[in-house]
Chains A and B, each alone.
Chain A
Amino acid sequence: MNEKNSADVVIVGSGVSGCLIGSRLAAKGADVLILEAGPRVTRSHIVENFRNSPYKGDFQSPYPPAPYAIHPQYSPSNNYPVQAGPHGYPAGYMRMVGGTLWHWAGMAWRMLPSDFIMKSKYGVGRDWAVTYDELEPYYYEAEVEMGVGGPEEGWPAPRSKPFPNPAMALPSFDKKVGDTIKPSGYNLITEPVARNTRPFDGRPACAGNSNCMPICPIEAQYTGETAVRKAEKAGAVIHENCVVYKIEHDNKGRISAVLYKTPDGSSHRVKGKIFVLAANAIEIPKLLLISASSKYPDGMANSSGQVGRNLMDHPGTSVRFLSKEPMYPGRGPMRASCIPDFCDGDFRKERAAVKINLGNYSSARGITEYLLSKGIYGEKLNSMIRDYASRWVIFNSMFDILPRPENRVTVSGSFKDVLGIPYPEIHYSIDDYVDKGAAFTRGHFGKLAEIFGGTEIAYTDSYMNNNHMMGTTIMGDDPKDSVVDRDLRTHDHPNLFIASGSVMASAGTVNSTLTISALCLRLADALLKETAKG
């Protein structure tokens, strides 16, 4: 069906990870084939789906999955992935050309140097097999690739060069909040964003549609489609609708081929010299585990038994209150600033670090539902919506969860998709370390509400997912307790690499995309050397 059935470099997954690597390698003349499980999609259909969807708060909603490559749906739930508990892990990701980067908020953060040495510095979690300094040039390369604009001060991750673009102008809401909390000792800094602050790379500047999630309607954000376009322009070939379900190896343990199914159920084999898995921290361990063979009965790359383990996210809590004074949230980007004061420190020996985010959301819908639930109707409802919408303040948080082996992705024994491929199953719990961080944060939520003379204060203590899937093919120097080495090469298979948040050995408190991108660019560099060797 597809003409190309072999390549020097075969990449599984066409999200930002696969595309960045494909793009860099193809630009240097490498023969690159990217296999994507889902379909090719177009922005306008997603935009119109969002406008047509009754579930505006569900960012998966405008992305109904193809039946042969399903991904999570929550309105209503499609039970994918299977939740084994005790805590839910309602992951949000997409299987389609361009991947999950279609619906991020463009937050382009560098992790802190401490995040890479949690074990040696604070005695908890793990150390990464690479250091911040080794990753720094690739962070910058990723920032240039995405046109990141950010503040030069306020975040203690050292930079060798300034941001390629100016920081975004803060919405008036964020400015007001910053000014209000400053006297009480809180800092509020502008988030670095891969959302154009001026026309850049053929993409427009943000026009303030204020629905970065679930879809930037004008590609002002660097999105999945940007990565795809650049990869294809560089010469990488992307085959959509190819659901990879098996990794084959030779008797020396080298990977020889991957097998995929097309929507009609037929099977196809793609041979290659180098294989890169770039299909996210849920689908990658699933694929490794279901590829078990007689030589590798526990699955590929899994001699350590760590495949699927150490699943992380940034669990989050929130507070919402009515400010005494009007603050006018909801104009401009949905997320623009945060409080960085509790992201690092000696306290990390005891409790989770936290980044507190200010949500610049248009909450008219939530407010309407809230007021209706209180029995308010008619003209009073209209005037109260207007009033509340100007004073509705939301802070939320992202906690640094530790990698724990019992938090894991396994393969469901009961559920299979239409192609006969098992569902992933999630086992997830949140420990004391995060709970202590959450208790600390709740105290600050209360203080913040007080500063604003807040009333009708509502805390959400149950942890939300932030869709930053990490850890499930964790990196490390020791093949006995990690899946990939410092070069993202699997310890067990010399020509199998993993490019995903799944290699991250700690979560930190910041959104993971830029770190993943930097890791991918570093891997691309290494693979260029590898392919040059022949």
Chain B
Amino acid sequence: MIFHKKRHIALYGAVLAMLVFVCGCGKKEKTASDTPEYLYAAAGCAECHSLTSGDDDSGKIPLNTEALTEAQFASALRQGKLPDGSDMGDIMPWKYYARITDGDTVKLYEYYMKTAFPGEKISVGGALPAASPFKEDTSKTPQYNRGMYLVEALGRCGACHSPEEGGKPLSGGVYETEWTAYNITSDPAAGIGKWSSEDIEKYLKDGVVPGKGNAISGMGLFVEVSSGLLSDSDRKAVAVYLKSAAPYGGGEEKARFEWGEPYDGVNSLRKAMVRLDKPEDKDGAVLYNGYCASCHGFTGEGNDSAAVGGFPSLTHNSTVGASEPNNLIMVILNGTERTYGGKTAFMPAFSGELDDGEIAAIASFVTGRFGNPAVKITPADVKKFR
């Protein structure tokens, strides 16, 4: 994985503290979304970038190597171009950032300079490269339009959640080639049409919605450095926009989170002890019990699953119920570690401990009982993700 963990807390603690302070006192919330710090969080810059030295092991791209002028900064943001003329490519979501207003772009530049080059003279002036047209829908509420701005510009949700050029917006994409970024249109089966607005807000806030899903990998990181730091009203605006965005889908029988029943067969697994030097079990249910049940429960219903940092239920869990098992396989292989509101959600990586056959057996047991039983995982499927 490109993006490594852990260090964001220290790096962005200051941002967080500031936001907590500002957002914490209701009246000031209106102005909060105007601050450069807030915009930096809303744009999720910290997902990839470090504004300070970058000499830690986070794998982040340091931004303090060369002080850009305002125009150069805007060019990077809106055209994906570095000062030397080279392209950053689509990894930089410039097509979305190009929709950010001039005013917000200037504020982002101020924050960048203030944090990465404290004390240095800010070089402003000159024309910014043009922003992409971003038309508000005047027939809709300001809340809807704010949501659209957050989703389609600052928060650039489509950078992961939309398919390649020409596909239906937000109908599903990829993150770092291996992870599925799910369909988040309002389609009730393929998308998140059955999530309530409150569900979406809670998911964006702390990455956990019991009975729906848990943010891991890229989404977990996004909650950690971006959506979790937004104001309640902005998260509400995002939910309102997503709920009313055009549904795209098809081919799904149920929503991802609707699958799964608790496992009640644990007693049938009880048997004689095995010789440790000649174990022969590759049965998914037995392996699940040996490796997973101590946290996720014998029944698969998790432990303290509603809490941030609790152990998620595997039933009614989007990662498990998805018809593409990519994310399930990836999280078993690589684990996850995300911190929301001071609590860490952690799962260890099993790539070293389990072979492809064992992971396939576990994942197939998990989809068979707790997810969509039609989804079967072969050792070859697992191998692809190593």
- A residues near B (Cβ < 8 Å) are 38-39, 41-49, 51-53, 61-64, 66, 96, 198-199, 202-205, 207, 209, 217-219, 229, 241
The answer to whether A41 and B273 touch (CB under 8 A), given A47-B294, A207-B295, is no
Contact of B274 among A48, A207, A209, A229 (CB under 8 A): A48
State how many angstroms separate the Cβ of A459 from the closest Cβ of chain B.
33
Can you report 17 residue pairs joining A to B where beta carbons are below 8 Å apart?
A41-B277, A42-B290, A43-B290, A43-B291, A43-B353, A46-B276, A47-B289, A47-B290, A47-B291, A49-B276, A51-B289, A63-B276, A204-B295, A204-B348, A217-B290, A218-B348, A219-B348
User: Which B residues are in CB contact (< 8 Å) with A42?
Assistant: 276, 279, 290, 353
| Contact between A64 and B294, CB atoms less than 8 A apart | no
Give Cα A46 to B279, complex, Å: 10
Judge if B303 is at the interface, Cβ distance under 8 Å. yes
Please indicate which of the listed interface residues B271, B279, B352 has the most CB atoms of chain A within 10 Å of its own CB.
Answer: B279
| Contact between A52 and B290, CB atoms less than 8 A apart | no
User: Which A residues are in CB contact (< 8 Å) with B349?
Assistant: 202
Residue of B nearest to A200 (CB): B346
Since A42-B279, A202-B348 are in contact, a sample of 14 more A-B pairs with Cβ atoms closer than 8 Å, ordered by chain A residue number, is: A41-B276, A42-B290, A45-B279, A47-B291, A49-B273, A49-B276, A52-B270, A64-B276, A96-B276, A96-B277, A198-B344, A199-B337, A199-B344, A241-B277
Q: Mark B274-301, 1 if CB is under 8 A from A, else 0.
A: 1111010100001101110011000000
Give Cα A362 to B303, complex, Å: 19
- B residues near A (Cβ < 8 Å) are 269-277, 279, 281, 286-287, 289-291, 294-295, 303, 311, 335, 337, 344, 346-349, 352-353
| Contact between B290 and A44, CB atoms less than 8 A apart | yes
The answer to whether A51 and B270 touch (CB under 8 A), given A204-B346, A207-B311, is yes
Top 7 closest pairs, chain A to chain B, by CB: A44-B290, A39-B277, A217-B294, A199-B346, A66-B277, A49-B273, A41-B276
| Contact between B273 and A64, CB atoms less than 8 A apart | yes
| Contact between A205 and B294, CB atoms less than 8 A apart | no
User: Which A residues are in CB contact (< 8 Å) with B272?
Assistant: 52
Give Cα A236 to B344, complex, Å: 33
| Contact between B289 and A48, CB atoms less than 8 A apart | yes
Please indicate which of the listed interface residues A61, A62, A204 has the most CB atoms of chain B within 10 Å of its own CB.
Answer: A204
State how many angstroms separate the Cβ of B39 from the closest Cβ of chain A.
31
| Contact between B273 and A62, CB atoms less than 8 A apart | yes
Give Cα A464 to B279, complex, Å: 32
User: Which A residues are in CB contact (< 8 Å) with B286?
Assistant: 44, 48
State how many angstroms separate the Cβ of B299 from the closest Cβ of chain A.
15
Give Cα A64 to B276, complex, Å: 7
State how many angstroms separate the Cβ of B258 from the closest Cβ of chain A.
27
Residue of A nearest to B286 (CB): A48
State how many angstroms separate the Cβ of A62 from the closest Cβ of chain B.
7
User: Which A residues are in CB contact (< 8 Å) with B303?
Assistant: 207
User: Which B residues are in CB contact (< 8 Å) with A61?
Assistant: 273
Contact of A44 among B271, B287, B335, B352 (CB under 8 A): B287
Give Cα A199 to B347, complex, Å: 9
State how many angstroms separate the Cβ of B208 from the closest Cβ of chain A.
16
Give Cα A48 to B271, complex, Å: 9
| Contact between A218 and B294, CB atoms less than 8 A apart | yes
Contact of A45 among B269, B274, B294, B348 (CB under 8 A): B274
Contact of A229 among B270, B276, B295, B352 (CB under 8 A): B352
User: Which A residues are in CB contact (< 8 Å) with B353?
Assistant: 42-43
State how many angstroms separate the Cβ of A283 from the closest Cβ of chain B.
18
Give Cα A49 to B286, complex, Å: 11
State how many angstroms separate the Cβ of B273 from the closest Cβ of chain A.
4
Give Cα A52 to B269, complex, Å: 9
| Contact between B276 and A45, CB atoms less than 8 A apart | yes
The answer to whether A39 and B276 touch (CB under 8 A), given A52-B271, A219-B348, is yes
User: Which A residues are in CB contact (< 8 Å) with B344?
Assistant: 198-199, 205
Residue of A nearest to B352 (CB): A229
Give Cα A205 to B303, complex, Å: 14
Give Cα A38 to B277, complex, Å: 8
Give Cα A61 to B335, complex, Å: 31
User: Which B residues are in CB contact (< 8 Å) with A66?
Assistant: 275-277
Give Cα A66 to B279, complex, Å: 11
State how many angstroms separate the Cβ of A36 from the closest Cβ of chain B.
12
State how many angstroms separate the Cβ of A186 from the closest Cβ of chain B.
33
Contact of B273 among A53, A202, A205 (CB under 8 A): A53
Give Cα A63 to B335, complex, Å: 28
